[in-house]
Chain A
């Protein structure tokens, strides 16, 4: 609201009725503070409604109200300045988002790498332990089975099958444990860092979107006020019937028209081989 008050002040200047009379002013339009208040209210209401509809932030609502107010008051220059400000802000935001996204990707990659290393270290240790236990158990079995040679051969096969099955189980268990660590309470420092980074990028992206929307509104308001230039003529000119060469002109125009109709027909007849025009226009 401070900025709005400043806006009022900047638009007002002190003068006297005498002074105005000297300048030849006969009547003035008075915009009282009450009306200004109403204008602010209306602007605020519009902006709030729009912000709520898209789930925008409080800053977005305030920014929207500012733009709306400037538009209603017809402050073209202010809008232009505001647009430039928004543009600068947007560039800063965009570059911040760019940097952070880069950092985020890098951290993710590093984390994945170190996890993989941890994982393979863990499996190597476990594998050794598994082999030890298996070896001991089966050695005992072998001892018991020396009397029956066919069983001894069976045990060799059993050992390989058992080992493969156990390893598979182990691996699955390890993989299942990994994401649990992320969601689990005592997350390690890396996870916290990643999480914060992700949040930051999300927030900045949301801000960027809002600022883009505000800029679009500012520009629209601006072009509505002074950028766009309305046509001076509402109807066709130059065809007054009293004009001396009116008839000649009319038949010339008719010829141009017919040529263009013809052109349109050719266009429709032979489907043009060129691809339809695409985006990148300046409009």
Chain B
């Protein structure tokens, strides 16, 4: 792999460098670039099933919501799950592994093209990947990105969120994604495995729980996981106070109204206890002199952080179990990871970039 063919023409006289931060997520892939472009695409990839589909869709590969919308005509992939590339940890001979890897690679290339780089610019990219990513997984990502950029580095996702906000010391980052919730303790140096906890209780888990609750409650209604996800993203909350949430679901083809606030709250709450346990664990094992600072600098990010009342609920739980707690939510959950990765890319000295290119 040392002689990666670069399809981009290498400029003889580089007029500049385009820095790029990429957040490769289970649910969304986002890019932020130093030309000011920020784009995000749902992490779906689809290839037309046959010639007929290909003719109708006029494309070899579809991404994001377009792929989702046409999924019946496609070999459809959600290439990441549980924060890693699906099937990528076997010995690689599995045909599924190859297909998922290719889908991931196509997705990353698409994300990079969204930043609309100029022909003659060097591209230096930092890719944020889930904290728990294996070495092989990271290699696959490097392999996917290398042909289309001039240099690439991988960082752990919660770390890049913290870096983006300049919170490098005594702070606890919680990134609630689709596949995983990642917690990472920052103390000025590179976080190690001891500083990180990953749980599978995140957005997908809420969707699954809600689907089961709704199947019980709304007898006879036809419900899909996609409907459940949309519902959650519109109305999610964990607090005590609740407004009614009414949904119309088809029963025997006829839209029927159901009141589902209680189910919605229960599903959203299902990921809280494990989160509080993890917070507890990371704080209790920290240097006692700095525990208090850590408790008062908890940062909530990722798409799942938008659940109504979550911030307050975590503070209440922390006060109960740890005596104190202050939680803030990042302004931009969707771009937190990509922004941070971009900042790392900026800050990285040029000689480092050259050495890994």
Among residues of B, the one whose C-beta sits closest to the C-beta of A91 is B58
What residues of chain B lie closer than 8 Å to A186, measured between beta carbons? none
Asked if B347 and A273 make an inter-chain contact with CB atoms under 8 angstroms apart, the answer reads no
Cα–Cα, bound, A235→B15 (Å) = 11
Cα–Cα, bound, A275→B92 (Å) = 9
Asked if A272 and B189 make an inter-chain contact with CB atoms under 8 angstroms apart, the answer reads no
Nearest Cβ in chain B — how far from A87, in angstroms?
A: 10
Mark each residue of chain B from 33 to 70: 1 if its CB lies under 8 Å from any CB of chain A, else 0.
11111000000000100000000000011010000000
Asked if A236 and B142 make an inter-chain contact with CB atoms under 8 angstroms apart, the answer reads no
Asked if A238 and B147 make an inter-chain contact with CB atoms under 8 angstroms apart, the answer reads no
What residues of chain A lie closer than 8 Å to B101, measured between beta carbons? 274
Interchain pairs with CB closer than 8 A, number: 155
Cα–Cα, bound, A65→B138 (Å) = 48
What residues of chain A lie closer than 8 Å to B144, measured between beta carbons? 277
Asked if A256 and B2 make an inter-chain contact with CB atoms under 8 angstroms apart, the answer reads no
Asked if A261 and B355 make an inter-chain contact with CB atoms under 8 angstroms apart, the answer reads yes
Mark each residue of chain A from 92 to 109: 1 if its CB lies under 8 Å from any CB of chain B, else 0.
000000000000000000
Residue of B37, B121, B190 near A255 (CB, 8 A) is B190
Cα–Cα, bound, A273→B88 (Å) = 11
Cα–Cα, bound, A263→B152 (Å) = 11
The reply to whether the CB of A163 lies closer than 8 angstroms to some CB of chain B is: no
Cα–Cα, bound, A26→B120 (Å) = 35
What residues of chain A lie closer than 8 Å to B97, measured between beta carbons? 274
Asked if B153 and A260 make an inter-chain contact with CB atoms under 8 angstroms apart, the answer reads yes
Asked if A272 and B1 make an inter-chain contact with CB atoms under 8 angstroms apart, the answer reads yes
Asked if B347 and A249 make an inter-chain contact with CB atoms under 8 angstroms apart, the answer reads yes
List residues 265-283 of chain A with CB under 8 A from any CB of chain B: 266-268, 271-278, 280-283
Chain B interface residue number, banded: 35 or more
The reply to whether the CB of A16 lies closer than 8 angstroms to some CB of chain B is: no
What residues of chain A lie closer than 8 Å to B352, measured between beta carbons? 253-254, 257
Asked if A281 and B346 make an inter-chain contact with CB atoms under 8 angstroms apart, the answer reads no
Cα–Cα, bound, A236→B349 (Å) = 7
Known: A231-B18, A263-B142. A282 touches B349 (CB 8 A): no
The reply to whether the CB of A239 lies closer than 8 angstroms to some CB of chain B is: yes
The reply to whether the CB of B91 lies closer than 8 angstroms to some CB of chain A is: yes
Nearest Cβ in chain A — how far from B75, in angstroms?
A: 12
Among residues of B, the one whose C-beta sits closest to the C-beta of A229 is B35
Asked if A245 and B168 make an inter-chain contact with CB atoms under 8 angstroms apart, the answer reads yes
Among residues of B, the one whose C-beta sits closest to the C-beta of A279 is B60
The reply to whether the CB of A223 lies closer than 8 angstroms to some CB of chain B is: yes
The reply to whether the CB of B269 lies closer than 8 angstroms to some CB of chain A is: no
Cα–Cα, bound, A278→B36 (Å) = 30
The reply to whether the CB of B171 lies closer than 8 angstroms to some CB of chain A is: no
Asked if B35 and A232 make an inter-chain contact with CB atoms under 8 angstroms apart, the answer reads yes
Residue of B139, B154, B155, B347 near A237 (CB, 8 A) is B347
Nearest Cβ in chain A — how far from B127, in angstroms?
A: 10
Asked if B91 and A238 make an inter-chain contact with CB atoms under 8 angstroms apart, the answer reads no
Asked if B110 and A234 make an inter-chain contact with CB atoms under 8 angstroms apart, the answer reads no
List residues 61-83 of chain A with CB under 8 A from any CB of chain B: none
Among residues of A, the one whose C-beta sits closest to the C-beta of B112 is A283
Cα–Cα, bound, A271→B92 (Å) = 11
Nearest Cβ in chain B — how far from A237, in angstroms?
A: 4
List residues 335-357 of chain B with CB under 8 A from any CB of chain A: 343-344, 346-350, 352, 355-356
Cα–Cα, bound, A264→B154 (Å) = 11
Asked if A238 and B347 make an inter-chain contact with CB atoms under 8 angstroms apart, the answer reads yes
Cα–Cα, bound, A72→B2 (Å) = 40
Asked if B118 and A229 make an inter-chain contact with CB atoms under 8 angstroms apart, the answer reads yes
Residue of B92, B113, B135 near A273 (CB, 8 A) is B92
Nearest Cβ in chain B — how far from A217, in angstroms?
A: 14
Nearest Cβ in chain B — how far from A260, in angstroms?
A: 4
Nearest Cβ in chain B — how far from A43, in angstroms?
A: 21
Asked if A230 and B1 make an inter-chain contact with CB atoms under 8 angstroms apart, the answer reads no
Known: A236-B349, A245-B168, A249-B168. A231 touches B143 (CB 8 A): no
Residue of B16, B119, B190 near A252 (CB, 8 A) is B190
Nearest Cβ in chain A — how far from B23, in angstroms?
A: 16
The reply to whether the CB of B326 lies closer than 8 angstroms to some CB of chain A is: no
List residues 107-137 of chain B with CB under 8 A from any CB of chain A: 109-110, 112-113, 115-119, 121, 135-136
Cα–Cα, bound, A271→B117 (Å) = 31
Asked if A264 and B142 make an inter-chain contact with CB atoms under 8 angstroms apart, the answer reads yes
Asked if B153 and A256 make an inter-chain contact with CB atoms under 8 angstroms apart, the answer reads yes
Known: A232-B36, A257-B355. A280 touches B116 (CB 8 A): no
Asked if A232 and B356 make an inter-chain contact with CB atoms under 8 angstroms apart, the answer reads no
The reply to whether the CB of A156 lies closer than 8 angstroms to some CB of chain B is: no
What residues of chain A lie closer than 8 Å to B115, measured between beta carbons? 229
The reply to whether the CB of B188 lies closer than 8 angstroms to some CB of chain A is: yes
The reply to whether the CB of A33 lies closer than 8 angstroms to some CB of chain B is: no
Cα–Cα, bound, A223→B113 (Å) = 12
The reply to whether the CB of A53 lies closer than 8 angstroms to some CB of chain B is: no
**Chain A interfacial positions (CB closer than 8 Å to B):** 223-224, 227-239, 245, 248-257, 259-261, 263-264, 266-268, 271-278, 280-283
With A280-B47, A282-B113 given, can you name 16 additional A-B contacts, CB distance below 8 Å?
Answer: A223-B118, A223-B119, A229-B35, A231-B17, A232-B34, A239-B349, A248-B189, A255-B190, A263-B139, A263-B154, A268-B2, A271-B1, A274-B101, A277-B143, A277-B144, A283-B148
Interchain Cβ contacts under 8 Å between A and B, 18 examples: A223-B119, A229-B36, A229-B37, A231-B34, A232-B34, A232-B35, A237-B347, A238-B343, A238-B346, A248-B169, A257-B153, A264-B356, A266-B139, A272-B143, A277-B105, A280-B60, A280-B102, A281-B110
Q: Which 4 A-B pairs have the closest CB atoms?
A: A273-B92, A229-B35, A281-B109, A255-B190
